[in-house]
Amino acid sequence: MRSWMIVAAALVIACVLPLSLDPQGYWIRVLTFTFLFAAMAQAWNIVGGLANQTSLGHAAFFGIGAYTSTVLFMKFGISPWIGMIAAAGLGGLAAFAIAIPTMRLQGHYFALATLAFGEVLRVIANVWTSVTGGSSGISVPFTPPSFANYSFKLLLPHAYIALAALVIVTVIFEAIRRGAMGYRLRAIKENPAAAEVIGIDTTRVKLQAAIISGMLMAMLGTLYAQVAVFFDPDTVFSAASISIRVALIAILGGIGTAVGPILGAFFIIPLEELMNDWFSASVAGLSQLIFGLILIVVILWRPRGFVTLFKSLSAKIPGVSP
Amino acid sequence: MTILDVRGISKRFGGLQALSDVTFSVPAGQIVGLIGPNGAGKTTFFSTLVGLIRPDRGTVTLAGQSLVGLKPHRIAAYGMTKTFQNVALFGDSTVLDNVLTAGLLRHDVRVAREEARRCLDRVGLLAVANKQADTLSFPERARVELARALCTGPKVLLLDEVMAALNPVEMREIMDLIRSLRDDGITLLVVEHHMRAIMTICDRILVLNFGKLLADGTPREIASDPEVVEAYLGRSMEKHA
């Protein structure tokens, strides 16, 4: 068995899986969000994984994407597909604006500065009521189901669009990882001074990576808006449920690899749902407590992510390359 | 033809005058040794040349191109780079990927990989190309540094103690390599503590003391310069040379 066969098998399963679920049910929604969060973690992985700049502010781009397409649709009747392109533009612009002051920072300082930027946008979205509707939230206008309007009666098409997004973002990530940019980002991660001295424009490469990551994240925000239909600033600009969760998914799965965010998302998103399902009826907060405990155990067991599990498995089975 | 021209480079760190008014020029194709006691400013000087440290005053000109105020990656693109004394490899990456990354300055990934193999072959480390850089011994890692710097396609190469901790056989190999690089048209500035090696391979030696250029001459002139012997080499000179 070769790695491309594993990829092909995973794709086939991913394509068949939505068909096996109730097309209006609860689990297809969970699956759609799992695809979506895997794609988001993959977009985060470009900066967080390859350059090891742990951003805790990616909700900024996500929220910008969700609001851009929805506001354009609501106020001007522009199709969310076109809105998604506008979202990419604004997301890239925001990523550029945030990267300029933060890219000299490293480690915890970078994480805290990006976290602050995300929070600033959340506050702005809450008070800028004329555009965002403020804390009372915003609804994607209802239109008759059509692909052109990115509007469907069932969740099934949303699941496939989220899957397509995951595939596209993963292909982009893998192309960057294998290409010149990936080598340059890893060099910057390991030794910025040495990277400069051997001819890498570290400022430029970091900016490029941040902009690509921000653009993708914003486009995924549009996808989210179309699935969720209703959202508010505290949801799409959330530090905990967007920024930190996306980072957590990538870290738990294994940063800097294409498989990591996918493994992480397929672990975290369904687990969270299961915990809520099983324990929410009992003591308040018990589900989060157990979820947290499981995360701690997993991080202690696999500090470099689930990917390492893959690698040690493939080392034992001859012929399987990771 | 002058390849490297250094005029009046000065650098102060707080109360310490690390470099003061360093001036010299190097014709293309020379091996120039840079010696001096610990703390004389040798590594600071190399860092200044490649743009990691900005001098307070002075100019550096490489093949007619002024390097004043340029970032290290621009200076590398113009053709000058250095190795790091304390070895600054990308430890998580393989040896080949370390060198390949430097090749990306002038080539795409495919060609850079070929270039990297060629550079690794030159330093005799092709056999460990796929090992993780962190797992190598210190002298091996120093040679990977050399291969990586070489892979940027430099006109002027600054080597900061690449011979540290080498055994005599390895040292002779590196000395041969440095000569062969010179024969390829690369100009080399070499910081080294091993006197015999410096005296053997260098066409010319600069002596730095307390950030000042104390002497500039052929190995023979330096060895017999009473000021140099007094200030730096002292009695150990007789033992080593």
- Main-chain phi, psi angles of A148, to 5 degrees: -60, -35
A-chain CB neighbours of B73 within 8 Å are 196-197, 199-202
Per-residue pLDDT for A270 more than 50? yes
pLDDT band at residue A289 using 50, 70 and 90 as cut-offs:
confident
Per-residue pLDDT for A314 more than 70? no
Residue A197 and residue B50: Cβ atoms within 8 Å? yes
pLDDT band at residue A77 using 50, 70 and 90 as cut-offs:
very high
B3 Cα to chain A: minimum distance (Å): 19
Residue A195 and residue B101: Cβ atoms within 8 Å? yes
pLDDT at B238: 47
Number of residues assigned to chain A: 322
Per-residue pLDDT for A315 more than 70? no
Chain B residues interacting with chain A (CB cutoff of 8 angstroms): 50-52, 71-73, 76-77, 81-82, 84, 88-93, 97, 100-102, 104-105, 108-109, 112, 148-149, 151-152
Could you tell me which residues are beta bridge partners of residue B59?
Answer: B7
Residue B90 and residue A179: Cβ atoms within 8 Å? no
Residue B59 in contact with residue B8, Cβ under 8 Å? yes
Per-residue pLDDT for A158 more than 80? yes
Per-residue pLDDT for A322 more than 70? no
Pick the CATH number of B2-79+154-240 from 3.40.50.300, 3.40.50.740, 3.20.20.70, 2.40.50.100: 3.40.50.300
pLDDT (average), residues A206-234: 96
A257 Cα to chain B: minimum distance (Å): 14
Q: Which of A50, A176, A198, A311 should one mutate to test binding to chain B, selecting the residue with the greatest count of B CBs within 10 A?
A: A198
- Quickly count helices (H) and strands (E) in chain A: 15, 2
Residue range A163-216, pLDDT digits in tens: 999 999 999 999 999 999 999 999 999 999 999 999 999 999 999 999 999 999
Q: What is the DSSP letter of B35?
A: E
Residue A199 and residue B77: Cβ atoms within 8 Å? yes
Residue A198 and residue B97: Cβ atoms within 8 Å? no
Residue A198 and residue B105: Cβ atoms within 8 Å? yes
Per-residue pLDDT for A50 more than 60? yes
pLDDT at B239: 45
pLDDT at A232: 95
Closest A-chain CA to B105: A199
More confident residue, B157 or A9: B157
Q: Which of A197, A200, A206, A308 should one mutate to test binding to chain B, selecting the residue with the greatest count of B CBs within 10 A?
A: A197
A-chain CB neighbours of B132 within 8 Å are none
pLDDT (average), residues A46-74: 94
- Percent of chain A surpassing pLDDT 70: 96
Q: Domain limits of chain A?
A: 3-316
A-chain CB neighbours of B97 within 8 Å are 183, 186
State pTM to two decimals.
0.90
Residue range B101-156, pLDDT digits in tens: 999 999 999 999 999 999 999 999 999 999 999 999 988 999 999 999 999 999 99
pLDDT (average), residues A56-81: 96
In this structure, what token pair is assigned to residue B108?
């795409």
Cα–Cα distance, A211 to A219 (Å, whole number):
12
Residue A90 in contact with residue A215, Cβ under 8 Å? no
B-chain CB neighbours of A202 within 8 Å are 73
**Which residues in chain B show pLDDT less than 70?**
232-241
A-chain CB neighbours of B102 within 8 Å are 198-199
Q: Which residues contact B209 (CB under 8 A, 6 or more apart)?
A: B36, B37, B40, B231, B232
pLDDT at B233: 56
Residue B89 and residue A193: Cβ atoms within 8 Å? no
Residue A55 in contact with residue A41, Cβ under 8 Å? no
Residue range A105-120, pLDDT digits in tens: 888 899 999 999 999 9
A204 Cα to chain B: minimum distance (Å): 11
- Main-chain phi, psi angles of B54, to 5 degrees: -90, 125
CB < 8 Å & 24+ apart, contacts of B117-120: B119/B147, B119/B148, B119/B150, B119/B151, B120/B95, B120/B96, B120/B144, B120/B147
Please give the sequence-ordered ranges of beta strands (E in DSSP) within chain B, or none if there are none: 2-13, 16-27, 31-35, 57-62, 65-66, 80-82, 156-160, 187-191, 204-209, 212-217
Q: Domain limits of chain B?
A: 2-79+154-240, 89-152
Per-residue pLDDT for A321 more than 80? no
A186 Cα to chain B: minimum distance (Å): 8
Residue B109 and residue A187: Cβ atoms within 8 Å? no
pLDDT at A93: 97
pLDDT at A119: 94
- Residue A22, chain B, CB below 8 Å: the answer is no
- Average pLDDT over chain A, rounded to an integer: 90
pLDDT (average), residues A316-322: 49
CB atoms within 10 A of CB B121: 13
pLDDT band at residue A276 using 50, 70 and 90 as cut-offs:
confident
A-chain CB neighbours of B76 within 8 Å are 196-199
- Residue A202, chain B, CB below 8 Å: the answer is yes
B-chain CB neighbours of A178 within 8 Å are 109
pLDDT at B107: 96
Residue A197 and residue B81: Cβ atoms within 8 Å? yes
Residue A198 and residue B93: Cβ atoms within 8 Å? no
Residue B101 and residue A197: Cβ atoms within 8 Å? no
Q: Which CATH class is domain A3-316?
A: mainly alpha
Q: What is the DSSP letter of A57?
A: -
Cα–Cα distance, B94 to B109 (Å, whole number):
15
Residue A319, phi-psi category: left (phi > 0), alpha (psi -120 to 50), beta (remainder)? left
